[in-house]
Each structure stands twice: as structure tokens, then as C-alpha cells.
Amino acid sequence: MRASAIAHPNVALIKYWGKSEVTANLPAVGSLSVTLGALRTKSTVNFDADLESDVLILNGEAQPSEQPRLVACLDALRRLAGRPEHAVVTSENDFPTGAGLASSASGYAALVKAAAEALGIDSDTPELLDITRIGSGSAPRSMFGGMALLTMQGDRMDCRQLLTPDDWPLAVAVAVTTERKKDITSRDGMEQSRLTSPFYEHWVTSHPADLDAAIQYCKDRDFMALAELAEHNCLKMHSVMMTTRPPLMYWSPVTLACMQKIMELRADGVPVFFTVDAGPQVKAVCEPGALADVVNALHDIPGVIRVIAGALGDGASVTGRD
Ligand code: PMV
């Protein structure tokens, strides 16, 4: 009972920050993301009757702090399959882990995909998306390629592909500004924001209008309208983060330099916009024809360690089964 799968991280253009229910990991708002083809997680899940507990080995190291999420995820899969065996999950990221590059999203998407295959669960089973969400609120989006849309109706989550990579070919350049892990996880940070930021409530109530407008801009392939709205939504999320007590300052001076450069490029007519998550890395989303110029411009900014660039990726997929 062993299978492997790959998944790509995703980056939200309309973001999620905050939960309506912590135990079930229910996002308080919907989100819209692009899947990053240039970054990849590969996971192998091996269910074995001789194991006494579940184990996660990430990039060659055991991850005891991940145990509660891992076990909750695997328990839900075992219940669905009616099997008792524990599992060893071996996962490799080809990019910095836990530094605002959505490694938990690709990690749990690959894990659920591989585990479902190993347990013989039909990959179209809708519960698999909810199980992916146990790992991370943004992980269901990594099950889909191109652009993914996650919506909430009360306590019901729906996640689906909005556009394939061919429907709207876009590219993303990620400016890596540090390889260091962040001090505060998204999970803890967003709960602190819900409890203490005076802007949190407005973030939640103003969010559906952003999401609806973004969906329309994507359907119309209106890059410049999406660019303005995505940057606004990102900055709104960061204003909630910064006004959290104690403050969540995920930016470094290099982050800001990258954001300013991207705004300058767009003012000069280059179809590009920035987005930043819970970490100092900057993602530049652009039309494919602008990618080389965007990569060069980001490379030249002092403090940028490297730039990882590529087209939108496909959804999580099984790569092998024994
Ligand atoms: O899914 P989590 O717990 O890693 O939180 C994701 C939060 C952001 O990356 C900041 C926004 C998003 O929608 O991806």
C-alpha cells in the first residue's frame, strides 16, 4: 500500500487570512490562486501494518511538530478507506520550506493524493478536498492546476479549477529574499489577527466583493484590472497582519524594494503585479512575454537571493504505485 504523488504550491491573488472555525480549519473567506509550476513537492506514502504510529520525513528530517496535522489527515483517510494501517510519509520540496512559499499547501495536496491512491480511494471522492484542508486552508487549491477558486458557504467549502493553464497562460517569478523559516506560522498568525486586529472584521466583510470582481476579471482575461485588485487585496491582508497585536511584519526591506520595482514596471506598461504572503518572498505574476524582463529586474535588486520562474502548473497527480 504505497504510492507517490507530486503537487505544486499555489499563491493566492485574492487571499485567505483567518478562520471561521479553528478545529475544522474552516477559512473565514474564499480565495483565488494560481498554481506555481516551477516549484514542486513530491511525497511517497507507505501504509504498513507493522508501524505503530504515523511518521513524516520532510527533506530527510523527522517533523514531530507536524504530528497532530499529519495524524488528523491520515485518520480521516483511514476512516474513508476503512483501513487501520499507519503510514510513513516521505516528502521532498525543491524550494525553501516554511518561508512563505506555500510548502504546506503542496505538501498536503501531494500527501492526500498519494495516500488516497495507496488506500484505493477514488480520486474524485469529494471528501478528499476537506481532508486536504486539515493540513492547510490553502492546500485544497493545490489539487488543481492553472487557477483555483475556493469558496465558502457557511461551513461548506467548495474548491474547483477556474481556468486551466492554457485558458489564460500566465507566468510567475518568485523573488527569494531569505531561505529562513518564518517565526510565526500562518495558522497561529491568522488566529491572532482575528482576535486583535481592528481591521479584521472589515477584511472579512469586504472580501466577497474582491473575490467576485477577480473572478470576472479572470473570465474577461483583464490583466490590468486583476493586477490592481490583487495588489489591493494583498495590501489589505498585510494591513490586517501589521495591525495584529503583537504585529506580524512579514516584509523585509528587500520585500518592499521588489514590490516597488514591480509597481514601477507596471507604470511603464509591463503587465506584471506583485503578491506577498506570510513571509518576505515576493511573487510577481505576469504575462509570459514579460517574464524575462521581470526576472532580470528582480535579479538586480540587492538582497534577492534567487528568482524562480515558470508557467502555471498542473494539479496534484499520482506518479507511481506499488
Ligand atoms: O493555508 P495556510 O495556513 O498556509 O495560510 C495561507 C495564508 C496565505 O498564504 C497568507 C494566503 C493564502 O490564501 O494563501
From 66-75, 89-98, 115-124, 190-199, the region with the lowest mean pLDDT: 89-98
Task: Check if the beta carbon of residue 66 is closer than 8 Å to that of residue 60.
Answer: no
Indicate the helix (H) or strand (E) that contains 173.
strand 171-176
Cα(307) to centroid(ligand 1), Å? 21
Q: Which residues pair with 107 in a beta bridge?
A: none
- Model pLDDT, residue 181: 76
Confidence band of 182 (pLDDT split at 50, 70, 90): confident
What does 292-306 look like in DSSP terms, one character per residue? HHHHHHHHTSTT--E
Please choose, from the candidates 93, 92, 96, 127, the residue with its C-alpha nearest in 3D space to the C-alpha of residue 112: 127
Q: Which residues pair with 57 in a beta bridge?
A: 62, 90
Cα(228) to centroid(ligand 1), Å? 20
- Model pLDDT, residue 67: 95
More confident residue, 148 or 179: 148
How do the domains of the chain map onto residue ranges?
2-164, 171-311
Dist CA 59 CA 233 (whole Å): 33
Q: What is the pLDDT of residues 255-277, one digit of tens each?
A: 999 999 999 999 999 999 999 99
Judge if the beta carbon of residue 106 lies within 6 A of ligand 1.
Answer: no
Dist CA 189 CA 173 (whole Å): 26
Confidence band of 103 (pLDDT split at 50, 70, 90): confident
Dist CA 116 CA 122 (whole Å): 7
Q: Which residues pair with 65 in a beta bridge?
A: none
Cα(49) to centroid(ligand 1), Å? 35
Percent of the chain with pLDDT over 70: 99
Output the residue whose Cα is nearest ligand 1's atom 9: 277
Q: Which fold has domain 171-311?
A: Alpha-Beta Plaits (3.30.70)
Environment class of 203 (CB within 10 Å of its CB; exposed 0-12, middle 13-18, buried 19+): buried
Amino acid letter for position 135: G
Please choose, from the candidates 261, 276, 167, the residue with its C-alpha nearest in 3D space to the C-alpha of residue 220: 167
Confidence band of 33 (pLDDT split at 50, 70, 90): very high
More confident residue, 154 or 27: 27
Confidence band of 220 (pLDDT split at 50, 70, 90): very high
Judge if the beta carbon of residue 31 lies within 6 A of ligand 1.
Answer: yes
Dihedral sign (CA 247, 134, 316, 318): positive
Q: Which CATH architecture has domain 2-164?
A: 2-Layer Sandwich (3.30)
